Chains A and B, each alone.
Chain A
């Protein structure tokens, strides 16, 4: 099945089984390895990406549903020169330990800030339900709040 996809603002075509999880397309067909395979059953959140700005677990999202939508992976969230506020905050708070699950957390946080620019602890508890085996939750909470501050500052400046 030929699918026209727009991933990280780059349009392209892939020929895959339409039911193939979008995660497989991203990693194995397009070779974008930033998004991680964790549990494969939408439980851990390591594969979280943005679909039209909303957080989606890409291991349970069929590729055919991605047509006509804006797909953003961790590679498209920001750049080394101009990191997304979430990436900037993650760096400043030195959040990652092993780092495997972090792209999913950062994408989920980016989606959270789209809905709640100044999230409370309750907002964070309800929305950031990914799993980190290293237990970096405490640093992540600080980084999420810092990301909100950075985003608010960059919004004011722009």
Chain B
């Protein structure tokens, strides 16, 4: 009879101690997870700010005009079709981008230029896409030339043709071309921040 009483009591004690220990041990992680949650919210906000800063540049005409969806390069802040019927089909032809555009801006003629002047590949078309769709395409290795996020970071922050946007030269009348709405240093910092935080693409704008 004594054993019959003692065993349930022991079981109850062991279970109670276990519960107390577990409850005690989960207190700290619960506190820690709150901090993690706060950090997560903070980095999500940072990422979103960086994303939008980057996209303020990417969606500016200086970039978008050479990422067309219809194979026709665009010109100017009104993104009109390139004069003279120039299309992607001219690439590699006798009359192509480099017939007029050289490796640097030409202040005499007002013709812009930079190394590798030309249209982005058709897979990298951005015209008509939302910021989210642009980012999804940019990070998709099937579309982005099989670039890793690190490759993308280098391309977006170091490539001379990309950075030309902040040195667009003057037009034929000698007027300076408009630059993207974000200073170059801020844009580069934003791209690096966004990539370092996991290149998270927001679910909605």
A residues neighboring B (CB under 8 Å) = 19-21, 40-43, 48, 54-57, 59-62, 65, 108, 111-112, 114-116, 123, 125-129
Contacts and interface: CB of A to CB of B under 8 A. Distances in A.
Given A115-B94, A116-B94, A126-B90, A65 B108 contact: no
A111 B111 contact: no
Interface in B95-146: 95, 98-104, 106-111, 113
Say what secondary structure dominates the interface of chain B.
loop
Contact of B109 (A42, A65, A123, A125): A42
28 contacts: A20-B108, A21-B109, A40-B172, A42-B100, A48-B99, A54-B99, A55-B94, A55-B95, A57-B99, A57-B100, A57-B109, A59-B108, A60-B100, A60-B102, A60-B106, A61-B106, A62-B106, A108-B94, A116-B94, A123-B93, A125-B85, A126-B85, A126-B89, A126-B90, A127-B90, A127-B94, A129-B84, A129-B85
Given A55-B95, A60-B111, A21 B90 contact: no
B108 A111 contact: no
Task: Name the prevailing secondary structure of the A interface residues.
Answer: mixed
A86 to B, nearest CB: 12
> Shortest 5 CB-CB distances between A and B: which pairs?
A60-B109, A42-B100, A60-B111, A41-B172, A112-B94
A41 B106 CA distance: 9
Given A21-B106, A54-B98, A65-B103, A42 B111 contact: yes
B100 A108 contact: no
Contacts of A126: 85, 87, 89-90, 93, 95
Contact of B93 (A56, A61, A115): A115
A97 B90 CA distance: 28
B153 to A, nearest CB: 31
Nearest to B109: A60
